[in-house]
Amino acid sequence: MTGTTTPYGAGAAPAPGSGHAASPRLIGLVLALVAALYVVAPAMNTAVAPLVHTDLGVTARGNAVAQITGACLAIGVLVAIGRAGDLKGRRTVLTASLGTLCLASLVLAASPHPAVYVLGRIAVAAALAAVFVSCLAFMTTVSLPGRIRRIMGGWLAAMSAGFVLAVNLAPHAAALTGWRPTAALMAAAAGAALLLVRRLLPEAGPLAPRELPDRVRTLCQAGCAVALAAALQLAPLWGWQDLRVGALLTAAVLAGAAARFRALRHTERSRARAVPGAVRTGALVAGLVLGFTQVVLTMAVPALVTDVGLPARAAAFVLSAFGAGGAAACLLLRHRPVPPLAGASLGLPLAALGLALLHALVDHASHALAGGFAVVTLVGFGTMLAAAPQMARYLAAVPRHHLGVHAALLPAAILVGTAAAQALPYTSALGPLPLPGEARELLWVGTIVVAAAALALGRPVVALVVAVTSVLQYVMVDADTSRPMSVVVALCVGAVAGAVAWSRREQSERLNRTRETAAALQRAVLHPIPDRLGGLRLAGLYRPATAGTAIGGDFLEALDTPYGTRVLIGDVRGKGLQAVQTVTDLLGCFRSRAHETEDLGEVAACLDRQVRRAAAARGDEELFATALLLQHSGRDLQAVNCGHLAPLEVGPGRARELPVPAVLPLGFGLLDAAGTVRPHRVALAPGSTLLTHTDGLSEARNSTGEFYPLAQRLSAAGPGTPDDLVRHLDDDVRDWTHHLADDIAVIALGPH
């Protein structure tokens, strides 16, 4: 393969034979279509199961063997194929996985014996896992970390739409064509996907292959997941007292303990490079809840819908609402940032309320279809509203060099959640559909699990309200199962939902007032940079590292004075209120002295004395600030650099650092000791823009720890006004990093 991509989607090279570079949008679309096979296959297996039993004699036990073995094997395949993509390249591994899926599906379609069919099902499950993790890692590799939220929103929306189509169309396809053509259709789809990938997608990776930080820990984690999934699925078949189930559970516990022990032995340096524990845990819980909820609904909804006399296709229609709600939540995430805490606090309570409300609405054929579809849509919306932000945050924080292995956590967590649901009564792989009463019990269990996840990931108060409401509903329905009581229960749920919504509105109003106060404070301390001042066009940007604080330790100002246009940008050592106080003092001093002091070097000396006075008043001997002062008068541009980063000259296709001599930062007293500091004359080429910035911009890191390549990204920005340049930097640095670790201040200026 000759085509490669630079990390983080910095530019996709053409795929061999394509003749042109594939756009990121096209890459995402192709990967979404290919990954949709992962959600289509289970619906097809369910639809053809009766036909296979009649035609080939595959028993329920054979299907159970295929399902359990395939799920356990898939977890190991996820880790192995993810790592192979890290080492060999994403496109190479994806094409091999699709080829394997195509061959396995053909074997499945031509199965002459039940044993061959079972082996084919297992091979297809493993190949589908390989395809899915390859697509997930590919999509994340060619995307900047800051864009993953938007891309994941669209990607998961496509997965949810595939679920809707598969649940509704698979039974009809199986009934019209039979099970062999249906399996052959999967082979044809895999073959078409293989051609698309080879034609349109570039190679992505390997990105400087590196050894895993701890191979033993990774193997222990994978072994824990495989053993746990096997034990949970086999326990209903063999019994919880069976020694084999006990051995699997013991193996899972020992593997998990070994992984934890290895993690505790990591050096501090290794921990700093790893994904934060809270981020990993959030993604793990989100995947578990998603897999668990899908199985509960898949088992409970058909039983409840058919109990009121509706046909099987109506049950499929109601069940597909889970995907419709999930697609709506993912599209919301794509177009509007939803913080993980907010998504879990709102989404999981909505899902729990929907599961509880499903009892009351699916009671009469007159409204079972519409009511069931609406409530299952609510469950899907809430579940994905909680899960998608957690998954996007996790993928954005994963180091790129080990992305494949880490990306395997998400589908593996979903598989383990599926296995946990299948360990419940009435959901065993060998058992028939639950009875209506048993289906309602499943929904109560699902409500409790989702409420517990809300307690772990969201706001505890909201989760506890939902849990208490669900318990009250259970008591009321159990005490009186008459139809009017269902209406009372529905009204109670609606009232509690309204109370929760009102509480969240109050919180939103308080948050808006806090934001307005912070914005007013920012306007009072950090004046907006005007578009035009003197003979200059200017543009400014200020981004605090901590959302909602409005002001940090960076400062910037531009003034029109009798001596020309004067610009100040700098950074105070430290954070918190003391840094803000120092910023306020420095800006006040500059605004006063800039209008009264002719010499720019003397203005810098005044700022130096101001910092020393503040340090003496607070007893902080280490207080200092870096600063860059500029003065423009006529065609003359002068600069005084007090320990700050040198400015950049940005022109068509180039960005270079200007050699501006620097003295020590403000607060060291050098300006007074050395006498007058002479400003340095700066010469700008025609058509160029001068960019000044703080270190929060150039030291913004991606999840691998690489600094933002400022000069390189500026060179690729193309010509434009100072405002165009600043807006480009604002968008680009947020795409580069999944979170800001330091404040960012930027001023760009150029002649009229």
pLDDT reported for residue 50: 86
Mean pLDDT of 356-360: 75
Confidence band of 463 (pLDDT split at 50, 70, 90): low
In the block, residue with structure tokens 């053909």: 106
Confidence band of 394 (pLDDT split at 50, 70, 90): very high
Q: Which two tokens stand for residue 350?
A: 């909505």
* CA–CA gap between residue 527 and residue 658 (Å, rounded): 27
| DSSP secondary structure, 639-686, as one string | EEEEBPPPPEEEETTEEEE----EEPPBTSSHHHHT-SPPPEE--PPT
For 503, other C-beta atoms within 10 Å of its C-beta total 14
CB proximity list for 2: less than 8 A, separation 6 or greater: 16, 203
Element (H, E) at 147: none
pLDDT in tens, 214-255: 788 889 999 999 999 999 999 888 888 889 999 999 999 999
Beta 536-543 vs 680-681: how paired, if at all?
Answer: unpaired
pLDDT in tens, 717-741: 777 789 989 999 988 888 888 777 7
* CA–CA gap between residue 52 and residue 246 (Å, rounded): 33
pLDDT at 470 exceeding the cut of 70 = no
pLDDT in tens, 4-43: 334 444 444 444 444 445 677 788 888 988 998 898 888 8
Do 357 and 303 form a contact (C-beta atoms < 8 A)?
no
pLDDT in tens, 59-85: 888 888 898 999 999 999 999 999 999
pLDDT at 497 exceeding the cut of 70 = no
The crossing angle, in degrees rounded to 10, of helices 243-264 and 215-238 is 160
pLDDT reported for residue 630: 94
Mean pLDDT of 676-693: 85
pLDDT reported for residue 369: 80
pLDDT in tens, 125-148: 999 999 999 999 998 888 888 888
Confidence band of 382 (pLDDT split at 50, 70, 90): very high
**What's the mean pLDDT when you consider all of the chain?**
82
DSSP label at residue 237 = H
CB proximity list for 648: less than 8 A, separation 6 or greater: 655, 656, 657, 658, 690, 691, 692, 693, 710, 711, 714
Element (H, E) at 398: none
In the block, residue with structure tokens 């929103």: 153
**End-to-end CA, the chain:** 49
pLDDT at 501 exceeding the cut of 60 = no
Beta 662-663 vs 636-642: how paired, if at all?
Answer: parallel
pLDDT in tens, 599-654: 898 999 999 999 998 888 888 778 899 999 999 987 888 999 999 999 999 888 78
Do 293 and 383 form a contact (C-beta atoms < 8 A)?
yes
pLDDT at 358 exceeding the cut of 50 = yes
* CA–CA gap between residue 66 and residue 26 (Å, rounded): 35
* CA–CA gap between residue 515 and residue 518 (Å, rounded): 5
pLDDT reported for residue 21: 53
* CA–CA gap between residue 147 and residue 738 (Å, rounded): 8
Which amino acid, one-letter code, is at 281? T
Q: Which two tokens stand for residue 126?
A: 């493993």
- Reading across the β-sheet that carries 654-657, which strands appear in turn? 532-533, 536-543, 744-751, 689-693, 648-651, 654-657
Judged by DSSP in three states, 412 sits in: helix
For 705, other C-beta atoms within 10 Å of its C-beta total 10
Cis peptide before 206, with omega less than 30 degrees from 0? yes
pLDDT reported for residue 64: 86
Mean pLDDT of 189-201: 92
Confidence band of 481 (pLDDT split at 50, 70, 90): very low
Which amino acid, one-letter code, is at 638? Q
Mean pLDDT of 477-491: 49
Mean pLDDT of 556-569: 92
Do 673 and 603 form a contact (C-beta atoms < 8 A)?
no
pLDDT in tens, 150-191: 888 988 998 899 889 888 888 888 888 888 998 899 999 999
pLDDT at 510 exceeding the cut of 60 = yes
Of 108-112, 114-118, 438-442, the one with minimum mean pLDDT is 438-442
| DSSP secondary structure, 566-609, as one string | EEEEEEESS-SHHHHHHHHHHHHHHHHHHHH---HHHHHHHHHH
Give me the long-range contacts of 614-618 (CB less than 8 A, separation at least 24).
614/581, 614/582, 614/585, 615/667, 618/578
Judged by DSSP in three states, 746 sits in: strand
* CA–CA gap between residue 277 and residue 272 (Å, rounded): 11
Of 18-27, 268-277, 432-441, 453-462, the one with minimum mean pLDDT is 268-277
Q: Which two tokens stand for residue 670?
A: 């050098």
Q: How open is the CA angle 526-527-529, to the nearest 5 degrees?
A: 115
pLDDT at 502 exceeding the cut of 70 = no
Q: Which residue, among 291, 318, 292, 290, has the nearest Cα to 304 in the 3D structure?
A: 318
pLDDT reported for residue 116: 93
Q: What is the 3 state secondary structure string of 150-196? A: HHHHHHHHHHHHHHHHHHHHHHHHHHHHCHHHHHHHHHHHHHHHHHH
Output the CA–CA distances (angstroms, integers) from residue 536 to 590, 605, 693, in the order listed. 19, 25, 17
Share of the chain above pLDDT 90, in %: 32
Which amino acid, one-letter code, is at 315? A
